[in-house]
Amino acid sequence: MSQGERLPQELELRRLRYRLQRLGMLELEAWLGRLKPALEAGDGQVAQAAQQLMAMETPHLLAMMHAEVPLPAALRPWLEVKAP
């Protein structure tokens, strides 16, 4: 990947991280903050799925967080809450 191709992608990842941290609900922000390592590692599937999440309404995100609605497969390793 050339420098020219990386810059738009890096900018988009920075925007995504910013939006994930400023949803206005600390509970959602903390939950979605678990995506940060994958985004920083450049995981394209996680980034794409996270961008789709940002288009969803807050009630839908809360339902995902509480396992009432299934998570996208690419996000399950990062966001799925494991039962003790």
Q: Percent of the chain having pLDDT more than 90?
A: 29
Mean pLDDT of 31-46: 89
**pLDDT tens-digit readout, 49-62:** 998 988 888 889 88
Mean pLDDT of 10-35: 80
Q: How many CB atoms lie within 10 A of CB 37?
A: 11
- Greater confidence (17 vs 6) lies with 17
The whole model's pTM is what?
A: 0.73
72: left (phi over 0), alpha (psi -120 to 50) or beta: beta
Half-sphere exposure of 79 (CA within 13 A, CB side): 29
**What pLDDT was estimated at residue 12?**
77
DSSP output for 1-65: --HHHHHHHHHHHHHHHHHHH-SS-HHHHHHHGGGHHHHHTT-HHHHHHHHHHHTS-HHHHHHHH
Give the integer Cα–Cα distance in Å for 7 and 70. 33
State the average pLDDT for the chain: 82
